[in-house]
Chains A and B, each alone.
Chain A
Amino acid sequence: SQQGEEDPQALSIQEGENATMNCSYKTSINNLQWYRQNSGRGLVHLILIRSNEREKHSGRLRVTLDTSKKSSSLLITASRAADTASYFCATVPTGGFKTIFGAGTRLFVKA
């Protein structure tokens, strides 16, 4: 089964609103990463948060990590139509390298 599971599976919002996506995982991790995918092709790395970090920011992105709940959230503030994409979380297990991706959240931002 997938290590990371995103929630919701799909999200539709108006431009300017904030979008929040969640990710849950099962085992202890070294770090958790968020990626974006447009048009079903290559993924783009957005942000990495390590297991000893609780929050990280990058532009309009804010990622939180709660290792006690084994969950993470990605917040996109002031969304734009160009943010329409699928967003995936990926976890790197403690002591390992095999990075596992969740099924993704499909975000649609209406102009």
Chain B
Amino acid sequence: GAGVSQSPSNKVTEKGKDVELRCDPISGHTALYWYRQSLGQGLEFLIYFQGNSAPDKSGLPSDRFSAERTGGSVSTLTIQRTQQEDSAVYLCASSIGGRDGYTFGSGTRLTVV
């Protein structure tokens, strides 16, 4: 597609449930990032994929968080046993090489009640 697509745009879930967030990057972009942004705050790095290399998972806040990228394209971020502190906007971005400007999706606003 023309841009980075994220789904769903909004997700309300009950505490303790698992959620899956999807990111469809721009075709041909080898680098894909996930960030998390709490209300009024900056972006918190979560995970980075670059081509076929092992992902940089150093930003994942706990083992309840995991992400995969299938076929070097679509990525899913999974949060297990969601907690209220997981409520945030989850942003995905992709770029051609990983060091140049990134194109962001519109994000998924996750609310854990």
**Residues of A with Cβ closer than 8 Å to B?**
2, 30-31, 33, 35, 40-45, 48, 88, 90, 92, 97-104
Whether A88 lies near B106 (C-beta < 8 A) is no
**Docked complex: B68-113 residues within 8 A CB-CB of A:** 89, 91, 93, 98-107
Known contacts A35-B104, A41-B89, A98-B45, then 11 further A-B pairs from the complex at CB < 8 Å, ordered by chain A residue? A2-B42, A31-B100, A43-B93, A43-B104, A45-B102, A45-B103, A48-B101, A88-B43, A98-B48, A98-B58, A104-B42
Give the size category of B's interface with A. Answer: 20 to 34
A interface SS class:
strand
Give B contacts to A, CB under 8 Å: 4, 31, 33, 35, 37, 39, 41-43, 45, 48, 50, 56, 58-59, 89, 91, 93, 98-107
CB pairs A–B below 8 angstroms (20 shown)? A30-B99, A31-B99, A31-B100, A40-B39, A41-B89, A42-B91, A42-B107, A43-B104, A48-B100, A88-B43, A90-B43, A97-B31, A98-B59, A99-B33, A99-B45, A100-B45, A102-B42, A103-B41, A103-B42, A104-B42
A44 contacts across to B, CB distance below 8 A: 104
- Measured between C-beta atoms, what is the minimum distance from A8 to chain B in Å? 14
How far does the alpha carbon of A94 sit from the alpha carbon of B45 in the complex, in Å? 17
Cα separation A61 to B5 with both chains bound (whole Å): 28
**Pair B106/A42 contact, Cβ less than 8 Å:** yes
Q: Hey, which chain B residues are within 8 Å of A48, CB to CB?
A: 100-101
Cα(A104)–Cα(B35), bound, Å: 14
Most buried by A among B4, B31, B102, B105: B102
Rounded to whole angstroms, the CA-CA distance of A75 and B76 in the bound complex is 37
Asked whether, in the complex, the Cβ of A33 is within 8 Å of the Cβ of B101, the reply is yes
